[in-house]
Amino acid sequence: GAVVSQHPSRVICKSGTSVKIECRSLDFQATTMFWYRQFPKKSLMLMATSNEGSKATYEQGVEKDKFLINHASLTLSTLTVTSAHPEDSSFYICSAARVSGTGTGNYGYTFGSGTRLTVV
């Protein structure tokens, strides 16, 4: 089945540094990838939608200069948290969209295993 590899699974960084999270679709091409942030015991908050070869679309309230998203190929999207601060500590999850068969109903989503970011 479709697999999305996300790494690192866990990262601790110092305040003020930048951290890059990678999300790869291993056996399919993902024209669209979504990046979510999840707070403890809370739902997923969509941060941005990235389409291969174009600029990401950010949700309202998400700082695009702080959360840099790059989707340079059909199998790789990256999220870089720049100048990280303790309040950026969270669980970040990517999701790759894929179409199996014809019709918009066959649109599916495969999620990465998440990255636990701790900024100290």
Q: Rounded to 5, what percent of the chain is helix, strand, coil?
A: 5, 55, 40
Reported as type and span, the H/E element at residue 114 is none
Task: Answer yes or no whether residue 44 interacts with other proteins by CB under 8 A.
Answer: yes
Helix/strand/coil for 92: strand
75 binds other proteins (CB under 8 A): no
CA atoms of 41 and 28, how far apart (whole Å): 31
Of the candidate spans 13-21, 36-44, 64-72, 74-82, the one that interacts with other proteins by CB under 8 A turns out to be 36-44
**Binding-site member from 11, 13, 49, 74 for other proteins (CB under 8 A):** 49
Residues that bind other proteins (CB under 8 A): 4, 6, 9, 32, 34, 41-44, 46, 49, 91, 93, 95, 97, 104-114, 116
